[in-house]
Structure 1
């Protein structure tokens, strides 16, 4: 006859719940674009390290100009991204932000504010985030950040060819002179007045 203590049963149940929770977090992370190709080992490492935080309507998650050490994935709710006080996009479930500050050690380039009644975010510390991402995903994030650069001017671009011609204009392929980032630039002619 075996005797099992209450502590042993509690430990087993807690361990099972923790494993289930870990598997659920891993599954949730795999649904986020930036994490979908992570190895199970890296995904597990991230899932173990993430923390959940709640935000309420009007609360800022990050503030433009401040330095941060966290990456965020939206689990639920909606958030407004503002640059210099102007709204530039809305983010929702599965979206993420904060990668630029972590990759480049820069101040936050925008303020992100909760716009739903309640919202939940998963947060990741810089060290674990960087260690968990494979080289191709870091390159993807770098390319994504470059494409979102709002400081690009026409003088920064060099013509690289024509992609297409339509009834309302021409789409040109251009390259940023210093970064090499490629863009499609739509050129629309002015109507005769």
Structure 2
């Protein structure tokens, strides 16, 4: 009798979960509804109502990684007509979306618990269902600084998952936080059945990576959103291993580069073969602008200290999008002149007085 009673109580709890999931779905909390359905199916894999609700959410084109709808406790609140970030899965077809929904796994993290660690291999992306997280970056001093605060409907981890690069930052739960996780293993299985999923995710990753970079870089702030969008289509995302020559002094330069991740050394090569370090380039730094503005070969060598991820814009695209914009051209000229003067000062100081160049 007790077993029957426990089964009855468990069934009642699952019914309550099902009703709550439906309520969340009706009120716009698709991610919460999907997560709760996943919990129900973990407890009872053959639970028909939960499976049907997942299918209905798919039919309604609910995207768990898109912006959240209005909360249940605030039914009159309207969702913004212009979301700051588009939906990660909005470009998928119905079958592809359903495959992704079925692959999502709910996880819960306690306050202060690390979800992903900076520098570690990335094997998952996450969507926040409930709660919030801190995004932390390690400074050169070794201290950590919070660079973002994410909440319900936000997602993270897609850069490492899609680029095979180490985690860009550490993410910790600020409070009790529920997420939906998509692992690389499950994503690979989906891509085997639906190759278009990889194309959609990579297009999204590239678009929003470039959007974030172009909006945050002082050089491109003078461009209108439409101009930045047109420019982003011509940027090429590329990676180079540690030790790779990115520019070589005296050789032709065919593109403008923006360093997204990693560290590079700028070196001056003397006639006797000696190399003098000029500066270290870090994330967000640009190089190649002197050749672009003056039309000369590389004035220094740039070598990757670490594995690097870069944005590359060829000269034709620079001419179309940048050189025709007075504000951008002036900023490029200013940056190039500052670097030339800085380099000249360093070389003068490092030259023995009996061999100092004549002026």
TM-score (norm 2): 0.39
> Are residues 173 and 96 of structure 1, via their aligned partners in 2, closer, same or farther at CA, if it must alter by over 3 Å?
farther
Distance verdict in 2 for CA 1:69–1:137, change over 3 Å: closer
**Higher relative contact order, chain-length normalized (CA < 8 Å, sep 6+):** 1
1:137-148 alignment, distance < 5 Å: 137-146=201-210, 147-148=212-213
Instruction: Tell me the CA shift for residue 129 of structure 1.
Output: 3.2
1:123 matched to 2:123? The reply is no
1:20 corresponding residue in structure 2: 53
**What CA deviation, in whole Å up to 9, does each residue of 1:13-61 have, x standing for no partner?**
8212222145447624273511122111111001111100011211111
The runs of at least 4 consecutive aligned structure 1 residues that moved more than 4 Å come to: 156-159
Look at both structures and tell me which one has the larger radius of gyration over its CA atoms: 2
Q: Which runs of 5+ in 2 are unaligned?
A: 1-10, 12-43, 68-86, 139-143, 214-259, 262-282, 293-317, 335-359
State how far apart, in whole Å, the 1-side matches of 2:148 and 2:98 are.
31
Go from structure 1 to structure 2 and tell me whether the alpha carbon gap of 1:18 and 1:173 turns closer, same or farther (over 3 Å shift).
farther
1:152 to 284, 305, 310: 284
Match for residue 89 of structure 1? Answer: 148
Question: CA contact under 8 A between 2:134 and 2:171: conserved in structure 1?
Answer: yes
Contact 1:74-1:121 within 8 A present in 2 as well: yes
Q: Considering fraction of residues, name the structure with more helix.
A: 2
Secondary structure of 1:35 counterpart: coil
Q: Tell me, in whole angstroms, the C-alpha distance in 2 between the residues paired with 1:90 and 1:162.
A: 37
The RMSD of aligned alpha carbons is 3.2
Using a 3 Å threshold, how does the CA distance of structure 1 residues 77 and 15 change in structure 2: closer, same or farther? same
8 Å Cα contact 2:91-2:200 kept in structure 1: no
Distance between the aligned counterparts of 2:329 and 2:208, measured in 1? 17
Secondary structure of 1:129 counterpart? helix
